[in-house]
């Protein structure tokens, strides 16, 4: 009799991935244990023999790490492959499953990071910051609700679509179409990041030169605005990108550097925080 995964087992597997993909997260294992948690209810339903269960679960002890939202499609695909293996399909074994997982980690991470981290999240944060003008809590509430709804239903759709498509999704994700999609999303993500930065980041200087009478005859910011409005903002954004993308600095270190630059800038009169005591 052909074995078929029940909707209940698939839903439990998805929820294990959704809530636990970072379970026992470490630099050595990353999302491995979260993957194990997701596959456990499927293996429990497909196999009766304890040795077969142990052998099946051992497949998923290999290192795994990808973008977790879009990465749900990989978990769904391997659910379908595990079902096929349990039914005795000869061309599906441990090597096949782990080969697919390893082959899809990078491409899916590239698409997911550009689409989710580089596009969706900045858009939602931009809307939330606009709603938070004046100290309103609506922006934070909006972001928490919308992001969680997007993450849950988006991950659920990707999981079940992966289960439905199985190996057919591989050609799209790692083929020419997948490469074109990754390039397109990367460009879109860059545009969104640039738009959000230009809208919500503002770096200006208060430096000015005065004559003997104490009257300013050169206001640096006015001159910069005439030549290149937003030049200082652009410079600071490019520097931050360079430090994180090229020098592999963590965001915390970059923020500390910005604090030092701001502190020194205020001391020498280049920046004016506008504080009044």
pLDDT higher than threshold 90 for residue 12:
yes
> Which of 194, 211, 227 corresponds to the end of one domain?
194
User: What would the pLDDT profile of 103-121 be if each residue is shown by its tens digit?
Assistant: 778 778 877 877 787 788 8
Q: 103 with 22, same domain?
A: yes
In a domain, 273, yes or no: no
State how far the Cα of 194 lies from the Cα of 261, in Å rounded to an integer: 22
State how far the Cα of 203 lies from the Cα of 199, in Å rounded to an integer: 12
Q: 224 with 259, same domain?
A: yes
User: What would the pLDDT profile of 250-259 be if each residue is shown by its tens digit?
Assistant: 888 888 998 9
Q: 155 with 218, same domain?
A: no
> Which of 194, 220, 255 corresponds to the end of one domain?
194
Comparing 18 with 169, the larger pLDDT belongs to 18
| Residue with the two structure tokens 């738009």 | 195
Average pLDDT over every residue of 35-42? 90
* Neighbouring-strand partners of residue 218: 209
Q: 175 with 116, same domain?
A: yes
What share of the chain has pLDDT > 70, as a percent? 87
Q: 154 with 89, same domain?
A: yes
Comparing 181 with 195, the larger pLDDT belongs to 195
Comparing 56 with 153, the larger pLDDT belongs to 153
* Neighbouring-strand partners of residue 216: 210
State how far the alpha carbon of 177 is from the alpha carbons of 99, 114, 115, in Å: 20, 16, 15
Q: 188 with 208, same domain?
A: no
Mean confidence (pLDDT) of the chain: 81
Q: 228 with 247, same domain?
A: yes
* Neighbouring-strand partners of residue 219: 208
In a domain, 274, yes or no: no
Q: 100 with 190, same domain?
A: yes
User: What would the pLDDT profile of 186-197 be if each residue is shown by its tens digit?
Assistant: 676 677 677 777
pLDDT at 95: 79
CA angle 190, 191, 194 (to 5 degrees): 85
> Which of 194, 219, 242 corresponds to the end of one domain?
194
Q: 24 with 149, same domain?
A: yes
pLDDT at 118: 77
pLDDT higher than threshold 60 for residue 29:
yes
Q: 14 with 134, same domain?
A: yes
* Neighbouring-strand partners of residue 209: 218
State how far the Cα of 270 lies from the Cα of 189, in Å rounded to an integer: 33
Comparing 214 with 95, the larger pLDDT belongs to 95
pLDDT at 227: 83
In a domain, 276, yes or no: no
State how far the Cα of 159 lies from the Cα of 14, in Å rounded to an integer: 7
Domain residues for the domain of 216 are 203-268
Number of compact structural domains in the chain: 2
Q: 176 with 256, same domain?
A: no
SS3 147: helix
pTM here is 0.66
Mean pLDDT lowest among 64-78, 153-167, 174-188, 246-260: 174-188
pLDDT band at 170 (very low <50, low <70, confident <90, very high): low
**79 contact partners, CB below 8 Å, separation of at least 6:** 5, 10, 13, 39, 42, 159, 162, 163
In a domain, 98, yes or no: yes
User: What would the pLDDT profile of 123-162 be if each residue is shown by its tens digit?
Assistant: 888 888 888 877 888 889 999 999 999 999 999 998 998 8
What share of the chain has pLDDT > 90, as a percent? 11
In a domain, 1, yes or no: no
**200 contact partners, CB below 8 Å, separation of at least 6:** 126, 129
3-state secondary structure 54-107: HHHHHHHHCCECCCCCCCHHHHHHHHHHHHHHHCCCCCCCHHHHHHHHHHHHHH
109's enclosing H/E stretch is: helix 94-112
State how far the Cα of 165 lies from the Cα of 168, in Å rounded to an integer: 5
State how far the alpha carbon of 99 is from the alpha carbons of 60, 167, 188, 199, in Å: 11, 12, 30, 44
pLDDT at 146: 92
Q: What is the DSSP string of 213-269?
A: TS-EEEEHHHHHHHH-TTHHHHHHHHHHHIIIIIS---HHHHHHHHHHHHHHHHHHT
pLDDT at 256: 92
pLDDT higher than threshold 90 for residue 15:
yes
pLDDT at 13: 92
Q: 108 with 13, same domain?
A: yes
């Amino acid at each position: 009799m052909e074995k078929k995964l029940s909707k209940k087992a698939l839903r439990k597997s998805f929820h294990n991935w959704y809530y636990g993909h970072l379970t026992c997260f470490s630099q050595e294992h990353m999302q491995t244990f979260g993957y194990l948690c997701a596959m456990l209810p499927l293996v429990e339903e497909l196999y009766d023999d304890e040795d077969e269960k142990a052998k099946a679960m051992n497949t998923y002890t290999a290192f795994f790490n990808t973008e977790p939202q879009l990465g749900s499609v990989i978990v769904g695909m391997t659910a379908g492959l595990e079902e096929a293996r349990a039914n005795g399909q000869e061309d599906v074994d441990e090597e096949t499953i782990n080969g697919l997982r390893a082959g899809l980690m990078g491409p899916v991470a590239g698409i997911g990071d550009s689409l989710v981290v580089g596009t969706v999240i900045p858009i939602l944060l931009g809307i939330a910051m606009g709603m938070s003008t004046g100290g309103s809590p609506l922006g934070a509430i909006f972001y928490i609700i919308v992001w969680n709804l997007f993450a849950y239903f988006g991950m659920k759709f990707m999981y079940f679509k992966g289960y439905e498509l199985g190996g057919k999704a591989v050609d799209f994700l790692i083929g020419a179409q997948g490469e074109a999609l990754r390039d397109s999303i990367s460009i879109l993500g860059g545009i969104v990041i640039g738009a959000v930065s230009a809208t919500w980041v503002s770096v200006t200087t208060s430096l000015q030169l005065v004559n003997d009478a104490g009257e300013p005859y050169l206001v640096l910011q006015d001159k910069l605005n005439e030549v290149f409005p937003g030049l200082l903002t652009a410079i600071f954004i490019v520097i931050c990108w360079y430090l994180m993308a090229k020098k592999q600095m963590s965001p915390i270190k970059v923020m500390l550097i910005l604090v030092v630059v701001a502190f020194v800038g205020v001391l020498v009169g280049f920046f004016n925080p506008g504080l009044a005591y």
